[in-house]
Structure 1
């Protein structure tokens, strides 16, 4: 018998969270995995067996096996995990038993087979896009290249519904566990556990986005991923360097885009078109994708266009300040002279508008015992105004007449080969990324427009083998990346049209960075207990050469560094009863200094950063304790998730005062600035906690409340506060889901943060807050969706309905005011 569930038999993600209590992970770039074909019969014996009498059941989707899917008997508590060929040895079930089958990337299926023979179960791929952000601890994540699993402690993963989005930042913000910093409308800088920018690893479809010039301040690179192409966003909290290498200190943000599928029955063509409009910025978006499926191959084409107008802030000033954030003046160039003109509406933040194109093409073909996947992505923007700097004043007058990030371009080519080999899965991915970034700025009253441009070529490869032997799931692999950075700068005189060279952001003679790593991890489960452990060794080498001495004469012009790092992790999870589970973990992370750390020249708010070749890798050692408690066994009537962590940050790289050839002041961009360098401070520590309470008020109505605390300080006598540490924040949400409708109302909030708790220097943007610090805030939001027909859906959102004026901590731009958004989508 082959079981193919109807739509009504497919459980939504939220209802199937308990299904993988003893599960291993689907760990491939894509949900589908190597085809069993003729090999499934000889690999049946390798499936996990939890009873002496078993039935061998194959779990497939679109003609491909689903390795490591979990089959859970909700009546007996017995579970079976499919092997690499998607075959699970399921203990014989009773006539009234219920089986629940689940794997990441697929809808959960619940069935009562009774006395019917069952040898094949079809898992549908998740039908709803942009519906969930999966947040989990690093201790339950596995799979070095792509989809992580909730493993045997799946309740540690919070699956969060998201109805309407305009950017990837909104995907993350909806979880209630990710803080966002913004310096412009096109800037999305996620903060995980008090870490931001190059201390948070960004990935898309298993490829590292972090490159050699990811900085430690605030980044906008997460915005280069098309939110309408994302099928799932995975957030891994805490150090994850064993599996992912450098930069994964605060955690990992992994954007998984839509994937091609196969059609065993013949050629199929399907697709979707979407249109969206928002009132707060006059923004609009259009998206379309087409999927072609055949028995042996599949292809998917996706195109999105988004346009954002000038962003309006809220008008209700509950914080009591009548002028904070208002924009009374705009800069215009009139008859060759910069002039300040009155802003007709000071609540409109100008300049903030920009637009963006996103294009993706994927192709997948079956090969013997596996498949090959080709993934091509391209993203480009218009100029993105950097709004926060237009508040800067020099000599009592406006400092900048122009300041924009030039078109941000990201092109990705990735080839992923997955093979089933003797009960194991071998996955190799090779990738190339071409990245272009630029900064365009001109001082007020001056004619020279300076453009700094960086071009990066990033080559990467990862090869992983994972499998099972007796009671042990294991994984081992190697990876490497090569970054080549070319930095150039020019100054264009707007009056004469003459162009000349100018000071580059990075070494004008070029910079390179090479990383190599090897890792291994294993997991063993016996009874209610699961142990996990892993180790990684990584080596990095950075080289930068400065040639021109016109603007900066460094004592050393060539910087070379070569360092290694060894990290490990271990965790223990246990199910103490049908209602209580716990997780204890020790983990370590590291970050190699990159080109941005070692070889950058940059001025901000009276400080100028100059290179320092003596940096060492920074390390983070974290202890974490988590628990999940439910009021009733196998029920979501009331569930509590809680986790607390403490991290020791050793050799932390921070910007601190320094001297250059005996001087502490450097003239740059026409201003005198205090010289600083990135330096390794001795020690710091970060600690925090999270509590999430969720439940079911009525059969179709659920609630969720999340609150997050984070603290960070140096461990010297001064106990100096660390930068990037957000105030207490969270979300309270009530949602109702019917047969054709979904409705939710939520309050997102953050507490105040005193100025004395801001980090040193300019990273936390104290100059953009009120004198006493960052005020607390709370917004009320309502979202709804209606399935008009089987193919037509309407989604409506009212965000910040009280039109509150606020800024998230560390941001240089006010958050959007009241926003009404409509989204219409149609499938074909």
Structure 2
């Protein structure tokens, strides 16, 4: 009888093990919720619960069973192979996201194969760094420098380039439009950091794949994808986040919900952030203090003393981000993705304009960007397997975007408020294809069409009489900009050690503008502008890994930026006493560059990443003095102003060196560091002068400790000085945003911050993040910024996941 019970127990155990399985992450050993388990035709399916468990009772012993999860590698096995182990381990592809990139060709490639340097951030990185905006997220890479004219800003600089010489994409759709300017831009903050799944930053030219504007780099943001259950069961996932930051009294709330069905998936995301006035640090130049500000009363404008000069009065704003995505997968390799995005803000005070003085008195009673609105809808159809002779993979993307922005400013004790409103309707279509020619060669090619239409108006409002009068608009109303392009790229990989990639792109760009309305005020020598340009760009590079320790990368490329409506038709006050007027005689600017990279990997314990680059910019589009009908000065907004225009009037030479280090001190402790050296000059009337967007030398160092549920990061950010002689002429003219040296000249002081960041996974569903930034309470500004950075800043965040 005893032997009978033993046999029964063994059989029962085997049957139990055979009919139930626990799915675990191979690295962390944690259970994985929401794993879809199915057979070949999906006639049988299960989904794991919160403990990572599911029943396999309906599956046959020998049939193939698939285990699929968005953040893990697909696994195929059989019930027989699982046997009595009762456990399945899935490889995480979250870390793999840093090795697989999309932006280089629009399809997945191994990062090691790409000749250019690409910096990647995944969702875990983003959650841990807990950035305030997407601009701050880019800054955490240690290789993107961020300028801020106001708190509601963030203008990235990459390898000496900025603004309309960098390209931004969201889910593969270009965000740059016809009025992206050469002055500092804040459009990147319209992208909700909570909605981002991963980010790829291409350092250097990307014109072959992305066309105009991708001169200095490409910032590619990929938002959350709806997760499907692939079963008859409903997959539900949700996250709620609350965050507070002391320096700006920031209050942020976020919510997202994923509903996954067998063939359909839905993601809804919403974030709201309210920022108060930002408080700067105590230790630093007094030049940055805010001793007084303008208050408008019933009796008029008065200057009022600031009770706390560290508080940057009139810098706060709020922002709402909404996203809805839908995914439909009728077949294994065919998907339809619809994305809807909407971002809006309150008025955003232009802080750097509020601190300007004229004749010893604050110049402006008010200077605001109006609500910054961005809407995007895009539909993407992707087929990843085909028997066609023309392609193996194909992706078609159609998108519509609407950008709305405005500017409202009034001088101190003036009754006239200038209001200028702009909007852009942007349509785009992309067709991208990939074809494997043989076991060693892949061919990528595609087509792109972009059409932008600009509406613009200008009004002067009399605040005493409440009357409006038309005035010159910022852009020619009804102007259009369109681009048509074809591109091709080839990848040759004869073995695992060597990869060669090369590509060509031809772009044809046409812009049209009618200045009839603005000629009432400007008396231009022309009424219509028709600007056409063709541009051919190319790239070629190799990635060579002679052994496990060493990898070389070598790349040469050309890039271009075609003049847009902002270049051709803008009218605005570029600086105190100057006005920019239209110029219809413009050509594309070209960049020619090369880079060499060396990565040394010493058994994964020490990794050194070295890169050097050089770029020559020809026919550069720059703002220079100009004459209008023979006049070098005109009246603009009631002020006699020096006339300027965008012109092909410069050449530039930019060079740099980057070094990155990663050192594994122990299993739990890791040291990482990044340092960037950038230099360059441009030609100004035959004289070589510093370039505006070449950032100071900058870097960071992190010591990270992680064990079980706790992760701690102690880090320093640091930035070299730019002396008066190192400032570009256009920066010297903005002396009100800089500190003054011993001779009374503007300069950008060196600075550093010490910071501590922690994250604790309290329960499976709950994580707590706490940070102290700028512990020593430094008072500083990032280079070219109008607003001082936060002083000591305590940040608390609570995340609950369902």
Q: Is the 8 A contact 1:286 1:306 kept in 2?
A: yes
Tell me, in whole angstroms, the C-alpha distance in 1 between the residues paired with 2:636 and 2:569: 16
Tell me, in whole angstroms, the C-alpha distance in 1 between the residues paired with 2:531 and 2:584: 7
The RMSD of aligned alpha carbons is 3.0
Tell me, in whole angstroms, the C-alpha distance in 2 between the residues paired with 1:761 and 1:234: 31
> What's the counterpart of residue 255 of structure 2?
288
SS of corresponding position for 2:740 = coil
Tell me, in whole angstroms, the C-alpha distance in 2 between the residues paired with 1:458 and 1:823: 36
SS of corresponding position for 1:597 = helix
Instruction: Report 1:94-243 matches (<5 A).
Output: 106-107=71-72, 126=94, 143-145=104-106, 149-152=110-113, 157-159=118-120, 161-162=125-126, 163=128, 164-243=130-209
Tell me, in whole angstroms, the C-alpha distance in 2 between the residues paired with 1:810 and 1:180: 9
Which of 725-734 and 367-376 deviates more?
367-376
Tell me, in whole angstroms, the C-alpha distance in 2 between the residues paired with 1:582 and 1:371: 37
Please list the CA deviations of residues 114-135 of structure 1 after superposition, one character each: whole Å capped at 9, or x if unmatched.
Answer: x9699x99666649xxxx9969
Instruction: Report 1:282-321 matches (<5 A).
Output: 282-317=249-284, 321=285
Answering whether residue 712 of structure 2 is matched by residue 743 of structure 1, we say: yes
* Shift in Å, 1:767: 3.6
Task: Give the 3 Å change call, closer, same or farther, for CA 764–521 of structure 1 in structure 2.
Answer: farther
Tell me, in whole angstroms, the C-alpha distance in 2 between the residues paired with 1:356 and 1:794: 24
Please list the CA deviations of residues 684-742 of structure 1 after superposition, one character each: whole Å capped at 9, or x if unmatched.
Answer: 21110100011101111111110001111126862221111101000010101112111
Task: Give the 3 Å change call, closer, same or farther, for CA 414–763 of structure 1 in structure 2.
Answer: farther
> What's the counterpart of residue 379 of structure 2?
415
Answering whether residue 482 of structure 2 is matched by residue 482 of structure 1, we say: no
> What's the counterpart of residue 14 of structure 2?
none
SS of corresponding position for 1:551 = helix
Instruction: Report 1:367-446 matches (<5 A).
Output: 367-368=330-331, 369-419=333-383, 420-422=385-387, 424-446=392-414
Task: Give the 3 Å change call, closer, same or farther, for CA 157–437 of structure 1 in structure 2.
Answer: closer
Structure 1 gaps of 5+ residues are: 13-31, 39-57, 64-104
Q: TM-score, normalised by structure 2?
A: 0.86
Task: Give the 3 Å change call, closer, same or farther, for CA 165–109 of structure 1 in structure 2.
Answer: farther
> What's the counterpart of residue 26 of structure 2?
9
Task: Give the 3 Å change call, closer, same or farther, for CA 676–37 of structure 1 in structure 2.
Answer: farther
Instruction: Report 1:224-373 matches (<5 A).
Output: 224-265=190-231, 266-317=233-284, 321=285, 323-368=286-331, 369-373=333-337
Tell me, in whole angstroms, the C-alpha distance in 2 between the residues paired with 1:153 and 1:458: 31
* Shift in Å, 1:546: 1.4
* Shift in Å, 1:395: 3.7
Answering whether residue 783 of structure 2 is matched by residue 809 of structure 1, we say: yes
Task: Give the 3 Å change call, closer, same or farther, for CA 153–616 of structure 1 in structure 2.
Answer: closer
Tell me, in whole angstroms, the C-alpha distance in 1 between the residues paired with 2:74 and 2:600: 24
Answering whether residue 671 of structure 2 is matched by residue 671 of structure 1, we say: no
Q: Is the 8 A contact 2:26 2:92 kept in 1?
A: no
* Shift in Å, 1:366: 1.3
Task: Give the 3 Å change call, closer, same or farther, for CA 749–699 of structure 1 in structure 2.
Answer: same
* Shift in Å, 1:205: 1.0
Instruction: Report 1:481-520 matches (<5 A).
Output: 481-508=450-477, 510-520=478-488
Tell me, in whole angstroms, the C-alpha distance in 2 between the residues paired with 1:502 and 1:158: 46
SS of corresponding position for 2:788 = coil
Please list the CA deviations of residues 744-781 of structure 1 after superposition, one character each: whole Å capped at 9, or x if unmatched.
Answer: 01000100001211122249844411234100000001
Task: Give the 3 Å change call, closer, same or farther, for CA 378–59 of structure 1 in structure 2.
Answer: farther
Tell me, in whole angstroms, the C-alpha distance in 2 between the residues paired with 1:363 and 1:616: 41
- Of 696, 708, 712 in structure 1, the residue corresponding to residue 680 of structure 2 is 712
Answering whether residue 774 of structure 2 is matched by residue 800 of structure 1, we say: yes
Q: Is the 8 A contact 1:197 1:214 kept in 2?
A: yes
Q: Is the 8 A contact 2:99 2:110 kept in 1?
A: no
SS of corresponding position for 2:113 = coil
* Shift in Å, 1:605: 2.4
Please list the CA deviations of residues 100-147 of structure 1 after superposition, one character each: whole Å capped at 9, or x if unmatched.
Answer: xxxxx845799999x9699x99666649xxxx99699xxx87544476
Tell me, in whole angstroms, the C-alpha distance in 1 between the residues paired with 2:102 and 2:255: 32
Which of 568-577 and 665-674 deviates more?
665-674
Tell me, in whole angstroms, the C-alpha distance in 2 between the residues paired with 1:492 and 1:289: 42
Tell me, in whole angstroms, the C-alpha distance in 1 between the residues paired with 2:626 and 2:258: 56
> What's the counterpart of residue 606 of structure 1?
577
Q: Is the 8 A contact 1:439 1:453 kept in 2?
A: yes
> What's the counterpart of residue 727 of structure 1?
696
Tell me, in whole angstroms, the C-alpha distance in 1 between the residues paired with 2:227 and 2:352: 44
Task: Give the 3 Å change call, closer, same or farther, for CA 432–316 of structure 1 in structure 2.
Answer: same
Which of 795-804 and 362-371 deviates more?
362-371
* Shift in Å, 1:785: 0.3
Which of 463-472 and 212-221 deviates more?
463-472
SS of corresponding position for 2:739 = coil
Q: Is the 8 A contact 1:610 1:677 kept in 2?
A: yes
Which of 758-767 and 532-541 deviates more?
758-767
Q: Is the 8 A contact 2:207 2:537 kept in 1?
A: yes
Q: Is the 8 A contact 1:62 1:261 kept in 2?
A: no
Tell me, in whole angstroms, the C-alpha distance in 2 between the residues paired with 1:715 and 1:646: 16
Please list the CA deviations of residues 62-99 of structure 1 after superposition, one character each: whole Å capped at 9, or x if unmatched.
Answer: 48xxxxxxxxxxxxxxxxxxxxxxxxxxxxxxxxxxxx
Tell me, in whole angstroms, the C-alpha distance in 1 between the residues paired with 2:97 and 2:782: 21
Please list the CA deviations of residues 397-449 of structure 1 after superposition, one character each: whole Å capped at 9, or x if unmatched.
Answer: 32110100000000111000012322711100000001100001111111122
Tell me, in whole angstroms, the C-alpha distance in 1 between the residues paired with 2:801 and 2:104: 32
> What's the counterpart of residue 535 of structure 1?
504
> What's the counterpart of residue 661 of structure 2?
693
Q: Is the 8 A contact 1:59 1:121 kept in 2?
A: no
Please list the CA deviations of residues 350-395 of structure 1 after superposition, one character each: whole Å capped at 9, or x if unmatched.
Answer: 1001000001000001134401000000000000000001122234
Tell me, in whole angstroms, the C-alpha distance in 1 between the residues paired with 2:596 and 2:761: 41
Q: Is the 8 A contact 1:141 1:236 kept in 2?
A: no
Tell me, in whole angstroms, the C-alpha distance in 2 between the residues paired with 1:763 and 1:168: 29
Tell me, in whole angstroms, the C-alpha distance in 2 between the residues paired with 1:4 and 1:551: 77
Q: Is the 8 A contact 2:356 2:736 kept in 1?
A: no
- Of 625, 642, 658 in structure 1, the residue corresponding to residue 596 of structure 2 is 625
Tell me, in whole angstroms, the C-alpha distance in 2 between the residues paired with 1:247 and 1:215: 11
SS of corresponding position for 1:761 = helix
Tell me, in whole angstroms, the C-alpha distance in 2 between the residues paired with 1:395 and 1:507: 34
Instruction: Report 1:812-827 matches (<5 A).
Output: 812-827=786-801
* Shift in Å, 1:645: 0.3
Structure 2 gaps of 5+ residues are: 1-17, 30-35, 43-63, 742-746
- Of 771, 779, 786 in structure 1, the residue corresponding to residue 760 of structure 2 is 786
Task: Give the 3 Å change call, closer, same or farther, for CA 240–466 of structure 1 in structure 2.
Answer: same
Tell me, in whole angstroms, the C-alpha distance in 1 between the residues paired with 2:626 and 2:436: 53
Q: Is the 8 A contact 1:4 1:122 kept in 2?
A: no
> What's the counterpart of residue 562 of structure 1?
532
SS of corresponding position for 1:744 = strand
Task: Give the 3 Å change call, closer, same or farther, for CA 117–764 of structure 1 in structure 2.
Answer: farther
SS of corresponding position for 2:456 = strand
Task: Give the 3 Å change call, closer, same or farther, for CA 157–649 of structure 1 in structure 2.
Answer: closer
Tell me, in whole angstroms, the C-alpha distance in 2 between the residues paired with 1:468 and 1:798: 50
SS of corresponding position for 1:675 = strand
Q: Is the 8 A contact 2:436 2:442 kept in 1?
A: yes
Task: Give the 3 Å change call, closer, same or farther, for CA 185–662 of structure 1 in structure 2.
Answer: same
Which of 594-603 and 423-432 deviates more?
423-432
